[in-house]
Amino acid sequence: MNAREKFRVFTFCSSTLKTEMEQRSKVYKDVSARFSFLTSTTLPEEEYSRCSHDLVSFYHEDLSMDIAGEVS
């Protein structure tokens, strides 16, 4: 690669990669926050119910409020 191509690759592509990775990281954190309560064994019942309700509210077309009883 010549100097111009190297500059483009190392600046543009690095910047694009960083942006994409930050966006993916945010998405994974959001998904983790929504579903992590399902793996907790020490979560109080009230907190479990609140998290279940939040999950159903977000995925209202796919889930019903019966989820709390189904996965506990």
- The mean pLDDT of 17-34, rounded to a whole number, is 94
Total count of domains within the chain:
1
**Which residues, at least 6 apart from 71, have a Cβ–Cβ distance to it below 8 Å?**
38, 52
Helix 45-58 and helix 14-35, axial crossing angle in degrees, nearest 10:
130
Whether 24 shows a pLDDT value over 90: the answer reads yes
Domain that residue 41 falls in = 3-71
Per-residue model confidence as pLDDT tens digits over 55-70: 988 998 888 877 766 6
- Split at pLDDT 50, 70, 90, the class of 35 is very high
Give the pTM: 0.62
